[in-house]
A = this chain, B = another copy of it.
Amino acid sequence: MDGLVGKITAELLKKNIKPSYQRIKIMEYLIEKNNHPTVEMIYNHLVKEIPTLSKTTVYNTLNLFIEKGLVRPLTIEDNEARYDTIISNHGHFKCQSCGEIYDFPVEIDDFVPDKLQGFEIADKNVYFKGLCPKCISS
């Protein structure tokens, strides 16, 4: 008995999403890896377990999760979307050498500048780019 799968199933049902095998597996990947993956990464990993898996299903499922507020899409590079299960506001650092994406805390709610009085803010994003310690020391 897998506790994570149980939690995922409950979470999906709470959002009126039918907990299909594929959907559970995709959510499981997102939570366990917690690596801000691309569609490609998700597909390549899961297709070993689910040989019939279609990349379209991965896209569809992620878009469904986004719609229901379970997943947040990250736009850091313009040529590859990334996905995060952690919805709360935090910043992302992408290493330009190894490509890894690191989380970092940031008090985004602190800086709502006067300039944005009268604006309705739905979504806040902070991302940095550069080199991570591993890549600097090698």
Contacts A75-B78, A91-B113; A119 near B132 (Cβ below 8 A): yes
Chain A interface category by residue count: 35 or more
User: Does A127 count as interface, using CB distance less than 8 angstroms?
Assistant: yes
User: Does A124 count as interface, using CB distance less than 8 angstroms?
Assistant: yes
Contacts A91-B113, A113-B91; A129 near B122 (Cβ below 8 A): yes
Choose one: B80, B116, B126, B129; the contact of A93 (CB below 8 Å): B116
Secondary structure at the A interface, as helix, strand, loop or mixed, is: strand
Q: Interface readout for A63-105 with B: 1 if CB under 8 Å, 0 if not?
A: 0000000000001111111000000000101001000001111
A130 touches B119 (CB 8 A): yes
Contacts A120-B130, A133-B119; A104 near B113 (Cβ below 8 A): yes
**Least distance between A15 CB and chain B CB atoms (Å):** 22
Residues of chain B within 8 A of A113, CB atoms compared: 91, 104-106
B118 touches A107 (CB 8 A): no
Enumerate the 6 nearest inter-chain pairs by beta-carbon distance, A residue then B residue, closest first: A122-B130, A118-B133, A104-B115, A123-B129, A120-B131, A121-B130
User: Can you list 13 residue pairs at the A/B interface with Cβ under 8 Å?
Assistant: A75-B75, A75-B76, A91-B113, A93-B116, A102-B115, A103-B115, A104-B115, A106-B113, A118-B136, A123-B129, A123-B130, A124-B128, A126-B126
